[in-house]
Amino acid sequence: LKGEMSLVGPRPLETREALGCEFEHHIRHSVKPGLTCIWQATHNRNDVGYIEWMRMDYEYIMRKNIVLDIYLILRTLISVLKMNGK
């Protein structure tokens, strides 16, 4: 609503997690946080560790474009629909 978030981008971290980030992880904050991201659109996201999650965010920041955003939005919608309300 206020333009502080995007549809696609790194998921926001909790304040305590963000304060503990290494310097190289602060690149995540160079883009607006998003409602969905590569991690969110991954079918096995519960098996993804913190370091891999940060790597996915970095990959998104380096590759971000409209085609990737559309792909991630569609993957997220499919993932949500397959959950069948669970």
Question: Rounded to whole angstroms, what are the CA distances from 86 to 60, 65, 82?
Answer: 28, 31, 9
Domain extent for 40 = 6-82
pTM to 2 decimal places = 0.74
Instruction: Tally the domains of the chain.
Output: 1
Q: What was the pLDDT predicted at 80?
A: 83
Segment 47-55 shows an average pLDDT of 85
Answer yes or no: is 51 within a domain: yes
Give domain status of residue 16, yes or no.
yes
Examine residue 1 and state whether it is found in any structural domain, yes or no: no
> Which of 33, 36, 37, 39 is CA-nearest to residue 5?
33
N-terminal to C-terminal alpha carbon distance within the chain = 28
User: What digits encode the pLDDT tens for the residues 4-48?
Assistant: 889 999 887 766 665 556 655 667 778 888 989 998 888 777 888
